[in-house]
Structure 1
Amino acid sequence: MSEAATLPVFIEHGTPAFRRINLAMLAAGFSTFALMYAVQPLMPVFSAEFGISAAQSSLSLSLTTGLLAVAMLFASTLSEALGRKPVMLFSLVVSAALTVVSALVPGWNSFLVLRALQGLTFSGLPAVAMAYVSEEVHPRSSGYAMGLYISGSAMGGMGGRVITGLVTDVAGWRWAIAAIGLLGLVSAAVFWRLLPPSRNFAPRPLRIRALLGNFALHLRDPGLPWLFAEGFLLMGSLVTIYNYVGYRLLGPPFGLSQAVIGMIFTVYLVGIVSSTVVGRLADRLTRRRIFWAIVLLMLAGVLLTLLDSLVATILGLAVMTFGFFGAHSVASSWVGRRARHARAQASSLYLFCYYMGSSVVGALGGLPWASHGWSGVVLTVSALLVVATLVAFRLAALKPLPTD
């Protein structure tokens, strides 16, 4: 066999296959993140209906993301044996079906059990999607393609929150959750129809020893552990703000309704713009030159929400969200480029830290809320983002690899 025949055949920007990948990944990102975060604006509703605290209500998300983080370490390895597309499709279909069922269960504990199961089924998409893009899309377009996938995630995060907020005011939270689940099933059908099969992937048998060896390889890299830490810090900060901002907006001086709070989550639209724009900018200027500035922008947005002004609070959420999706786009594509081998495992380690940040920091954020209100939440998140900025400077000082 000639050397040319063994070289990977990448999908180029501007081709029909590239457009199909983008549309399929938009649908997948929308579905997964709409299903995952649909409960976030409903946390005050859960507190009122089930008589639970804000921290207990946050378990509807933290339990999901905590199990997702652990399961993702193994989901990416499963995709090495079964293939990228089958694992992602299973994740989308079963997660949507469980969401519909969760709208029907009678009690809080039963609801949490189903949310925990969703954490396991969600794991089949994020790490595998990152690996698929890095394998199939040409390196010069991978930042843009990953940015579009993250745009779908932003659309899903926004759509899930907005739809549940609006439907809850009209028909109750159970109808809202059921509606999101049905949208997830439609998105799964779109993904199945559009995503091209893998061309640069060869199945490999499951080997636990090799899996642990790949994890150790990535943890010894001088840059990847810092990127994993960024995932924890950035996602923990974002989720903590969004977990408790609903409680702040329901109370004085704002006194907003559930539907209006849901509409405020349309600030996620800036994330759709940010991930693609910053992804392209990173491809052009290099990730190390812009990453720290995007993290600082996120911190500025968080500090804006301290003002007792609805306009300032919405603006702060928008700036923070823009910074987060830009930073996540840079960090996730950086992981894919820096990991020269076993990219699915590198992606899964990044996303393990990412979702552990959501689970651990998002749940613990209820403690400063209970003791010091919104100022306590902002102080906690600001401290995390200061650390994230220092880590970004550390990454910028690293000796670059040819693939960075």
Structure 2
Amino acid sequence: MDHEDTYIIKGTKEYTKLNIAFFLAGFTIFSVLYSVQPLMPYFVDIYGISETRASLVLSSSTVALALAMLVYGALSEVIGRRKIMIFSVISVSLFALVMPFVHNFDVLVFLRLVQGVCLAGLPAIAMAFISEEVSPVSQASAIGIYISGNAFGGAFGRIFTNYVSSLYGLENGLLAISILSVIATVLFVVMLPPSRHFVKVELNVRELLGAYKDHLMNRALLQPFMLGLLLMGGNIALFNYISFELINNYGIKAQYVSFLYLLFLLGIISSMTIGRVSNQFGIFNSLEYNLLLFIGGALITLVPSVTVKVIGLGLTIFGFFGGHSMASSMVGHRARDHRAQATSLYLLFYYTGTSLGGTVGGIFYSHMHWPGVVILAVVFMICALLILFNMKHVKNTPF
């Protein structure tokens, strides 16, 4: 049989099964990862801890995820991508089932950290699996469906878990999302097609470490890495602590605050339109517009009106996703070799931004309340603008 005949083609049953499998996998990973973000006020009340410490339930997972992604890509070349993805999704769901029954905050943070290591297995290699097994002409739509599962999972996990928790308690909220993740995991394992084109290669640790070192020493790559960190740091700082602001100072009930995370669906629109915008205005100008849009949106949230705050946060979402899309695309253009490792490093910086923004944002919120969080987010974006200014005026890149 011709090698080309073994590729999965759009319009076939196997293609449909693959799309459903990856949508569910992305849903599972990111719904579980971000389900705790709106729950931080509950952790503060139940455990009597500070907002900064409460943020560890998210930042512990994201920093572990970021570091683990550097390893999974290389391991998948030896062990096989399908095995690692199945391990990742199953282990994440099992940890999610345990979380509702943990009543010690330090233990919970530790389990979230270990869960973060498991979480990394899917996003680190999902696109590589699709690229190997799906016909080239059908890959774009398959990857798009996988990414939409990520976005939907992140929004759904935040909203659903917070809403159930507000009605039936924190434990039941966590249990509800874990049950859904188990169901999605079973369907993922059943529907995921076999790997037909995987070719095992020997793991060369020296070459791998050398690639990471070269990328980190390359200013043309370090600049978009830092942009990803700053964008994510600003975004997480705002959305980690807006729940405290609305509940404590505006009397908004927790179940209604959860719907604020529907704003993340605007990111899908921003990501889809940014390509046309950058083609028209240029990638540097478009990135500058998105950073300024983020700053403007953040400053608008200082107005003492819930409606105006929501509008401002919506603008920051547009700026964040647009900026993230362009910064990540820069990495692919600028990396002349070992592009998979360059992408992994970008994601390392990106998810480190989650931990940085979440933790430092808690310190600013504790001392200056919401204006402090806004100041932090704006400072992050100003730093990003300074990096962008350097990129525009120092010709060391293909752009």
TM-score for both structures, normalised by structure 1: 0.86
Q: Is the 8 A contact 1:127 1:347 kept in 2?
A: no
Provide the alpha-carbon RMSD of the alignment.
3.1
The residue number in structure 2 matching 1:277 is 273
Q: Is the 8 A contact 1:62 1:359 kept in 2?
A: yes
In structure 2, the gaps of 5 or more residues are: none
Q: Is the 8 A contact 1:91 1:124 kept in 2?
A: yes
Aligned residue among 263, 276, 287 for 1:291 = 287
Q: Is the 8 A contact 2:220 2:397 kept in 1?
A: no
Distance 2:18 2:387 in 1: 32
Q: Is the 8 A contact 1:295 1:323 kept in 2?
A: yes
Aligned residue among 289, 312, 326 for 2:322 = 326
The residue number in structure 1 matching 2:342 is 346
The residue number in structure 1 matching 2:360 is 364
Q: Structure 2 vs 1, CA of residues 235 and 290 (structure 1 numbering), >3 Å: closer, same or farther?
A: same
Q: Aligned runs of 1:146-225 on 2, under 5 Å? A: 148-195=145-192, 201-225=198-222
Task: Give per-residue Cα distances to partners, 1:324-370, cap 9 Å, x unaligned.
Answer: 22322333344345434333322221111111111122111111111
In the alignment, residue 121 of structure 1 is paired with which amino acid? C
Distance 1:367 1:175 in 2: 29
In structure 1, the gaps of 5 or more residues are: none
Aligned residue among 302, 310, 316 for 2:312 = 316
Distance 2:307 2:140 in 1: 33
Q: Is the 8 A contact 1:218 1:224 kept in 2?
A: yes
Q: Is the 8 A contact 1:144 1:276 kept in 2?
A: no
The residue number in structure 1 matching 2:252 is 256
- Tell me how far 1:237 sits from its aligned partner: 1.0
Higher mean Cα deviation, 237-246 or 65-74?
65-74
Q: Is the 8 A contact 1:130 1:336 kept in 2?
A: no
Q: Structure 2 vs 1, CA of residues 342 and 192 (structure 1 numbering), >3 Å: closer, same or farther?
A: farther
Q: Is the 8 A contact 2:301 2:313 kept in 1?
A: yes
The residue number in structure 2 matching 1:303 is 299
Q: Structure 2 vs 1, CA of residues 123 and 325 (structure 1 numbering), >3 Å: closer, same or farther?
A: same
Q: Structure 2 vs 1, CA of residues 388 and 152 (structure 1 numbering), >3 Å: closer, same or farther?
A: farther
The reply to whether residue 117 of structure 1 matches residue 80 of structure 2 is no
In the alignment, residue 54 of structure 1 is paired with which amino acid? E
Q: Structure 2 vs 1, CA of residues 346 and 25 (structure 1 numbering), >3 Å: closer, same or farther?
A: farther
Identity %: 38
Distance 1:106 1:245 in 2: 25
- Tell me how far 1:287 sits from its aligned partner: 4.6
Q: Structure 2 vs 1, CA of residues 333 and 129 (structure 1 numbering), >3 Å: closer, same or farther?
A: farther
Task: Give per-residue Cα distances to partners, 1:158-203, cap 9 Å, x unaligned.
Answer: 1111111110122111111111112222333444455555666532
In the alignment, residue 34 of structure 1 is paired with which amino acid? S
Aligned residue among 212, 233, 236 for 2:233 = 236
Task: Give per-residue Cα distances to partners, 1:2-52, cap 9 Å, x unaligned.
Answer: xxx999x9988x665776665444333222111111111111111111111
Q: Is the 8 A contact 1:73 1:345 kept in 2?
A: yes
Q: Is the 8 A contact 1:29 1:153 kept in 2?
A: yes
- Tell me how far 1:296 sits from its aligned partner: 2.5
Higher mean Cα deviation, 117-126 or 140-149?
140-149
- Tell me how far 1:281 sits from its aligned partner: 5.6
Q: Is the 8 A contact 2:73 2:124 kept in 1?
A: yes
Distance 2:29 2:50 in 1: 27
Distance 1:139 1:360 in 2: 38
Task: Give per-residue Cα distances to partners, 1:53-86, cap 9 Å, x unaligned.
Answer: 1111111111111222222211222112122232
Secondary structure in structure 2 of the residue aligned to 1:307: coil
Q: Is the 8 A contact 2:220 2:396 kept in 1?
A: no
The residue number in structure 1 matching 2:34 is 37
Distance 1:390 1:102 in 2: 42
Q: Structure 2 vs 1, CA of residues 130 and 241 (structure 1 numbering), >3 Å: closer, same or farther?
A: farther
Distance 1:265 1:379 in 2: 21
Q: Structure 2 vs 1, CA of residues 147 and 48 (structure 1 numbering), >3 Å: closer, same or farther?
A: same
